[in-house]
Amino acid sequence: MNLKEYIHKAVGICGVSAGPFGGARVIEALLPVMRELGLVTIFEDANFGNVQDLFDQNGNLLDQAYVRRIDKFLNELLWMARALRYGREHLPA
């Protein structure tokens, strides 16, 4: 396994569940695994609870509140990825 490929790379975790908590426990359980691999987890996560009620037949999101949440999630992921890339390219290991 090439762990060096994972060191100082950004990762965001999304949780999906049929219940109300959107995989919050699985996200919590995955955080130490991501850190052990050398990945840097962002501060936001995306939880899709009651996923069976979130999309219409065409896959369109029904609750627009998720758009703002996912936008925040993706912006944080991009920021962290850019910051870590800068660090990998300009700072000594």
| DSSP bridge partners of 40 | 10
pLDDT digits (tens, 9 = 90+) for 69-81: 999 999 999 999 9
> How far apart are the C-alpha atoms of 64 and 74, rounded to whole Å?
16
Q: Does residue 93 carry a pLDDT above 80?
A: no
What pLDDT is recorded for position 1?
Answer: 61
pLDDT at 43 over 90: yes
Q: How far apart are CA 50 and CA 62, in angstroms?
A: 12
Q: Where are the alpha helices (DSSP H) in the chain?
A: 24-36, 65-90
β-bridge mates for residue 15, sequence order? 47
The model's pTM is 0.87
